Amino acid sequence: MLTGLDIKKSFGSTEVLKDVNIQVKPGRISVLIGPSGSGKTTLIRALALLDFPDSGEIAFDGHTYKFPLNDNQVIEPPWPDLTVVFQQHFLWPHLTLRKNILLPLSKKTDSHHTVDDLIKIFQMEDFIDRYPNEVSIGQRQRAALARAFALEPKYILLDEITSALDVEQTGAVIRHLLTLRDQGIGLLVVTHLLAFARELVAKDEGDHIYFLDNGKILGSGGLEFFENPGSERAKQFISSMDYWTGNNKVS
């Protein structure tokens, strides 16, 4: 289990995360929704121990880290057991997509088979040996996802990874995320697409939706959360997601 407890984080005098509590369970999908600027990326960076919270606790598979840290305390980010894919996919520009995927795996001799499978799953055969600047943003996005999945992490945090993908590619990603969940991987998925969120949580009651607004979790729940979000604010936000995904019902 990956848990964030009472996470606070400020940049200067701006409080960006205000006592956030969130859980990512093995074999479950947590979906994080919320307006732009509400703190989703900051929360992902904190949970992955890339950018420490000011206060609160992060627990990861039996280890508990309390913030602020003691003066002499050093934390190694738990990569690759906990792997993040950001919207801006940080590929090495001087390596082909294939080498971008293979390089972090150099010590894992058994993973080349996985890489070949991922290249097929994400239909990357035609461009896998090109450099990042020779492919589209969506193709880079798929390479960044394949690189993360090839590491076979126990937990994977995905920050708006579908923004450059078409419907068919998003479908392939959804199917793969559901497969990973069924294999026991814990997933946290940030998305602004209601249809994507619904597909991910639809099939399992243990999956969970969190609504982050202005640095606070304003509501959470299972799939029913979309129909009964509790607060007016969450309702308003969810209906705006509907609007932009084209599922808007005009009444």
- Among the candidate windows 31-39, 58-66, 74-82, 221-229, which touches ligand ADP by CB under 6 A? 31-39
Quick note: the x/- pattern for ligand ADP over 186-215, rule CB under 6 A, is ------------------------------
Nearer to ligand ADP among residue 96 and residue 191 (C-beta): 191
- Among the candidate windows 37-45, 68-76, 141-149, 195-203, which touches ligand ADP by CB under 6 A? 37-45
Q: Is residue 139 involved in binding Mg ion (CB under 5 A)?
A: no
CA 161 to centroid of chain Cα atoms = 8
How many angstroms separate the CA atoms of 176 and 180, rounded?
6
Q: Are strands 208-213 and 29-33 parallel, antiparallel or unpaired?
A: parallel
Shortest gap between Cβ of 110 and ligand ADP (angstroms)? 35
- What is the footprint of ligand ADP within residues 115-144 (CB under 6 A)? none
Six token digits for residue 181: 């969940």
Separation of first and last alpha carbons in the chain: 43
How many angstroms separate the CA atoms of 251 and 52, rounded?
46
Which segments of 3-106 does DSSP mark as H helices, in order? 40-47, 97-102
Q: Is 222 helix (H, G, I), strand (E, B) or coil?
A: coil
Shortest gap between Cβ of 188 and ligand ADP (angstroms)? 13
Torsion of CA 167, 168, 172, 174, to 10 degrees: 20
Nearer to ligand ADP among residue 58 and residue 128 (C-beta): 58
- What is the footprint of ligand ADP within residues 42-81 (CB under 6 A)? 42
Can you tell me which residue has the tokens 């996005």?
141
Residue 37 near which of ligand ADP, Mg ion, none (CB within 5-8 Å, type-dependent): ligand ADP
Q: Could you say which of 30, 38, 41, 111 contacts Mg ion (CB under 5 A)?
A: 41
Nearer to ligand ADP among residue 42 and residue 141 (C-beta): 42
Q: Is residue 191 involved in binding Mg ion (CB under 5 A)?
A: no
How many angstroms separate the CA atoms of 9 and 15, rounded?
6
Shortest gap between Cβ of 197 and ligand ADP (angstroms)? 15
Which segments of the chain does DSSP mark as H helices, in order? 40-47, 97-102, 112-121, 137-150, 167-182, 194-201, 232-244
- Among the candidate windows 39-47, 146-154, 176-184, 200-208, which touches ligand ADP by CB under 6 A? 39-47
Shortest gap between Cβ of 231 and ligand ADP (angstroms)? 18
